[in-house]
Structure 1
Amino acid sequence: MIDFFRRVFIAMLMAMCISLLFFSVKITVAQSSSDSLHNSWTWPAEGVITGQFGERNGKHYGIDIAAEVGAPVYSAGPGKVSRSYYSDSYGNVVFIVHKNGMETVYAHLNKRFVSEGENVKQGVQIGEVGNTGHSSGSHLHFEVHNGSWNINKTAAIDPMMVFDKHVEKAHVAKSETSSPASSPISSNEAANVKKLQVTVAKGDTLWAISQKYGVSVDDIMKWNDLSSSLIKIGQALTIKEPMTKQ
């Protein structure tokens, strides 16, 4: 009888261990899947970050990316459009629910190109940057919610947390194609080069800065180790200019 109970106990213990192992593997796989989803997201628009998460006494629940009216807005990741409508506050706005359970919001759009219930791929254009709703300038207001959006925005998280810096260059400014040709400076010319520190001001873009100093967007990104065309107000950029001969 004792031997019987011993066998039953061992069998139950083994079953418990197997169950715990399976549960652990399931959680790990799910977490890995979720991480891979949001780490492969791409920037929803090209421009200058003018508003950070948590500003305005903690009541700014996303980031603002300033760009010209009509600039394309992309889906940060694949998902399903949960809402697409005009809001008094958000203006033209699109909500997308993603497979990892997160929901992204694209607000103040000039135009919306997708409808509620539509499945969208990552990087597809879903609208245009605009100045609709409660907005004081042309920009995209972008939010990420770790779960479903709600009126109190209790699930809102900093969008910067879900982007991998190695994939930020998915939508590098298209204007690079018409910028001055990249002209790397050789070691022999290094002595004749002066470095400037330029502080990004409101309304600046890499394209505008490149035109002002006669260099290419590619060069500015290389000199400053930038993987994206997004820049922030107050950000210091290094510009290398050939010194004119006396």
Structure 2
Amino acid sequence: MRDYIKRFLIAIIMALCVSLLFLGGKHSEAAGTQDAEVINDHWIWPADGIISDTYGTRQGRHKGIDIAGRIDTPILVVEDGVVEKSYYSNTYGNVVFVKHPSHFVTVYAHLNRRNVAKGQMLKQGDVIGKMGRTGQATGTHLHFEAHQLEWRYDKKFALDPEKLLGKANVGESVQAGIASMGDSVLAASSLLRLQQNESTNSSQPLDKYMVKEGDTLSSIAQRQNTTVSAVKNLNHLTSDLIKPNQILMVP
């Protein structure tokens, strides 16, 4: 009888442990899903170009978005993070995986060139490579993916990047450095413009500046010891309207 009671108690303890593990896994997965809904309204678009394909096409097999553009268009990291992988794949071509503090992993595929190595720390807007058509790509474009928690071969944790970047339909143009704001995006200068200015006027180094609450073009220009017209020209702005999270290039 004593042995029977002992076995019974052991069975109950094991069942409780399994239940706790199951609930813990479910809680982690649910937390990741919740994060996708409330986090990262400050992610920026990773490249200049035109949306050529969206999430969920090809009978649901396309787990990212495609941005078509010119060869060697700069590719920006959408948020601070650390390079998890940087290598050549037969399918992805030159590809970079970045792990973010928010527990998302972003993927940048078909690059013509990779500028970063595994373990490298990145700041939002850093150039991680150049657009290309390496791997299984039919044209020059960036294939961009976002995953909760981790990237897996079966892409179990993939989600629509537009939930974090902002909505854009096939055929619409996007600009690198734009911060999303709900379903709309904010006009900002592209890094391509930055590189063009640096190549033609190397004596004037430029920095990226993210607009904060209460900022005006006048206050930003004064802080950077420049003029409002210079900031507007540099960023192709046609009005004085700016909004929080907008990325500007400043002297």
Shorter-chain TM-score range: 0.5 to 0.7
Aligned counterpart in structure 2 of residue 128 of structure 1, from 108, 127, 130:
130
Contact in 2 for aligned 1:46/1:171 (Cα 8 Å): no
Cα distance in 2 for partners of 1:34, 1:144 equals 10
Amino acid at match of 1:108: H
Unpaired segments ≥5 residues, structure 1: 1-29, 179-216, 220-226, 229-246
Conservation of the 8 A alpha-carbon contact between 2:133 and 2:141? yes
50, 54, 57: which one aligns with 1:55: 57
1:171–1:143 CA distance, 2 compared to 1 (3 A)? farther
Q: Distance in 1 between matches of 2:75 and 2:40?
A: 18
Q: Per-residue deviation at 1:169?
A: 3.3
**Which has the larger displacement, 35-44 or 134-143?**
35-44
Q: Contact 1:43–1:170 at 8 Å: present in 2 too?
A: no
C-alpha offsets along residues 181-222 of structure 1, whole Å, 9 cap, x if unaligned?
xxxxxxxxxxxxxxxxxxxxxxxxxxxxxxxxxxxx878xxx
Shift of 1:39: 1.2
1:94 and 2:112 correspond:
no
Deviation at 1:38, TM superposition (A): 1.4
- 2:121 maps to amino acid: N
SS at match of 2:187: helix
Summarize the Cα distance change of 1:68–1:152 in structure 2 as closer, same or farther, 3 Å threshold. Answer: same
Task: Tell me, yes or no, if structure 1 residue 147 matches structure 2 residue 156.
Answer: no
- Is 2:74 the counterpart of 1:72? yes
Question: Deviation digits for residues 69-106 of structure 1, max 9, x if unmatched?
Answer: 10000000000000000000000000000000000000
RMSD over aligned CA atoms reads: 3.1
- In the alignment, is the contact (CA less than 8 A) between 1:43 and 1:168 conserved in 2? no
User: Are 1:162 and 2:143 matched, yes or no?
Assistant: no
Q: What are structure 2's unaligned runs of at least 5 residues?
A: 1-31, 166-179, 198-235, 239-245
The structure having more radius of gyration, on CA atoms, is 1
The correspondence of residues 6-45 of structure 1 with structure 2, limited to 5 A, is: 38-45=40-47
**Secondary structure, counterpart of 1:56 in structure 2:** coil
**1:61/1:158 contact within 8 Å kept:** yes
Per-residue CA deviation, residues 5-31 of structure 1 (Å, 9 max, x unaligned), is xxxxxxxxxxxxxxxxxxxxxxxxx99
Q: 1:46 to 1:53 in 2, by over 3 A?
A: same
**In percent, how many aligned pairs have the same letter?**
40
Residues 173 and 119 of structure 1, relative CA distance in 2, 3 Å threshold: closer
Deviation at 1:175, TM superposition (A): 5.7
The answer to whether the 8 A contact 1:42-1:167 is kept is: no
Where do 1:89-238 residues align within 5 Å? 89-163=91-165, 164-165=180-181, 168-172=186-190, 174=192
For normalisation by structure 1, the TM-score amounts to 0.56
Provide, for residues 53-73 of structure 1, a one-character-per-residue CA deviation record: whole Å limited to 9, x for no partner. 000000000000001110000
The alignment partner of 1:100 has SS state of: coil
2 CA distance for matches of 1:133 and 1:73? 17
Alignment: residue pair count: 155
What is the CA-CA distance between 1:146 and the residue it aligns to?
1.3
C-alpha distance in structure 1 between counterparts of 2:89 and 2:146, whole Å: 18
